[in-house]
Amino acid sequence: MRMQSNTIILTCLLLLPVVFGNLEKNETTFVPTREWQTVKKGTPIPAGLHVRHNFESGVTEAKLIDDNNVKEEDSNKSSNSTNTNSVMLHPENTILEEKDHVPAEKSDLFNYSIEELKDRLKKMKQDGEDFPEIDIEHSKKIRQKFRDYEALKKEFKSFEINITVSDSDLLSSYIKKFQAYKNKVTMGILTTAEIERILDILYNLEYLLHHIDNAKVFADMEGMNKIISPCLNGTNNEIKIEALRLLGAAVQSNPKVQLKALENDLVQKLLHILSTSSKSDLKSRCLFALGALIRQFPIAQKVWVDHGGVEIFGQILVDGQLQVQMKVMKLINDLIVERQHIEYITDVAQQELRVKAYSAADIERKLLKYSYCDRLSNLMITSFKIDLSDLLRTNYEFLKTISDSMITAAPICIDKWRKHKDEFLPIIQHILDLHHDLNILIGMLQTLETTHDEL
């Protein structure tokens, strides 16, 4: 309460110059009447008058109180806590008419300047003097509901740190999330919502694994064993396809990751899918992953050969879907070309190392042994029994793929193909005639262009 009293007094002191202007002493006595009279600055007035002040003009007026206001005045007096008999208009010229009243001790605030009073008031607020008592129990409840400013600052700071998460942290997080569904994936008891969540994990991982360093981290975190193998062992084809896409992204041109895949027997798993599945899109995606795994990796090629890869590919040429057959032929072409390019290596020591590495797989001999050459030639003969013009119009890519495959494999398969030259030669001649017709068309187009220019 003391602080509040001091504050009120200070406010009054600050307002007095505004209300009454500069202090001017005037010893003239004010004689009141029942009419309004102007009170000059510095003039003391007796108690019991009706006073009004115009804040715009700064003029103060006073008069005797009318009879009809006496009762109201008496009521106000009875409720007034101070018992002074005069009105203080100007502090330097105040008349105090005391009636059996002990004057209150003058506050020592009047001994200080305005600036000092401001400083004291500020200090009282800081020290918390005379503040109302706080309900401790209520305060505890409030603190339980709300956190203080320092705690909030710490939390916001931690949020800022968590925003910048490394790729390694993301990989770890996705692998951990997948573990909650691992058993359900292999058992084939997933709900639709769970399948969507697993696919989302695989999509995000694939995006990260296109970066070669992330793929290495993924392999070091046992991602092959923890994610890819369970997906391939499951029954959901959609999850299998996405896992194969993920595997292909991870191992492509990445020897360290290729080795990790090899250690987890993924070549065998891919061959199993190729030999047992009837889904064209699944087999196509499987060939993509297998190609990424064994290209430029002689050790993996040997594993592929040793586990029946050539025989499985040959069977696809017999009864596989067209798109799958094309992928098989392209992959075999790439493996043959790898070996043909060894002779162009100028470093003799490096060339010898490459020859030794590729000789372990011995693909050329296996293509002959497991009848790949025969099945490729049969596919060409069977396909070209139809009208080549129709084949060229409906599926030129297939025609080009099988022609390129025959040319690439010729150094290996030519002795076998000579036995069927009577069937091959008409087909090859027909193809050349088609190309000759195209050359004629090109010549005609060029001639027309020249004639048009001359016109």
Q: pLDDT by residue (tens digit) across 254-298?
A: 999 999 999 999 999 999 999 999 999 999 999 999 999 999 999
Q: For residues 23 and 91, is the Cβ–Cβ distance under 8 A?
A: yes
* For residue 26, pLDDT beyond 70: no
For residues 12-25, one letter each, b for 16 or more C-beta atoms within 10 angstroms of the residue's C-beta and e for the rest, the string is eeeeeeeebeeeee
pLDDT at 21: 46
Q: Span 232-239, mean pLDDT?
A: 96
pLDDT at 48: 76
Q: Which two tokens stand for residue 205?
A: 């991982």
45 Ramachandran zone, left/alpha/beta (phi>0; psi -120 to 50): beta
DSSP string for residues in 317-365: HHHS-HHHHHHHHHHHHHHHHHHHGGGG---HHHHHHHHHHHHTT-HHH
User: Which pLDDT band, with edges at 50, 70 and 90, does 22 fall under?
Assistant: very low
Q: Which two tokens stand for residue 173?
A: 């997080």
Q: For residues 282 and 241, is the Cβ–Cβ distance under 8 A?
A: yes
Q: How many CB atoms lie within 10 A of CB 46?
A: 16
Q: Span 63-79, mean pLDDT?
A: 58
User: Which pLDDT band, with edges at 50, 70 and 90, does 122 fall under?
Assistant: low
Q: For residues 324 and 280, is the Cβ–Cβ distance under 8 A?
A: yes
Q: Span 80-104, mean pLDDT?
A: 44
More confident residue, 20 or 165: 165
* For residue 206, pLDDT beyond 70: yes
Query: Who's near 131: CB < 8 A, 6+ residues apart?
Result: 3
Report which residue type is found at 245.
Answer: R
Q: Which two tokens stand for residue 63?
A: 């008069």
Q: Which two tokens stand for residue 437?
A: 């017709």
Q: Which two tokens stand for residue 115?
A: 């600036």
More confident residue, 349 or 27: 349
For the chain, the first-to-last Cα distance in angstroms comes to: 111
Q: Which two tokens stand for residue 65?
A: 């109180």
pLDDT averaged over every residue in the chain: 79
Q: pLDDT tens digit string along 294-344?
A: 999 999 999 999 999 999 999 999 999 999 999 999 999 999 999 999 999
pLDDT at 81: 43
Q: For residues 250 and 219, is the Cβ–Cβ distance under 8 A?
A: yes
Q: Which two tokens stand for residue 300?
A: 């993996």
* For residue 118, pLDDT beyond 90: no
Query: For residue 41, what is the DSSP state?
Result: T
Separation of CA 96 from chain center: 79
Q: For residues 291 and 324, is the Cβ–Cβ distance under 8 A?
A: no
* Burial status of residue 224 (CB atoms within 10 A of its CB: 0-12, 13-18, 19 or more): buried
Q: pLDDT tens digit string along 380-431?
A: 888 877 655 565 555 778 888 998 999 999 999 999 999 888 888 888 887 7
* For residue 23, pLDDT beyond 70: no
pTM, two decimal places: 0.62
Residues 329/331/332/334 CA torsion (nearest 10 deg)? 120
pLDDT at 244: 98
Q: Span 73-88, mean pLDDT?
A: 46
* For residue 20, pLDDT beyond 50: no
Q: By percentage, how much of the chain surpasses pLDDT 70?
A: 67
User: Which pLDDT band, with edges at 50, 70 and 90, does 46 fall under?
Assistant: confident
pLDDT at 31: 81
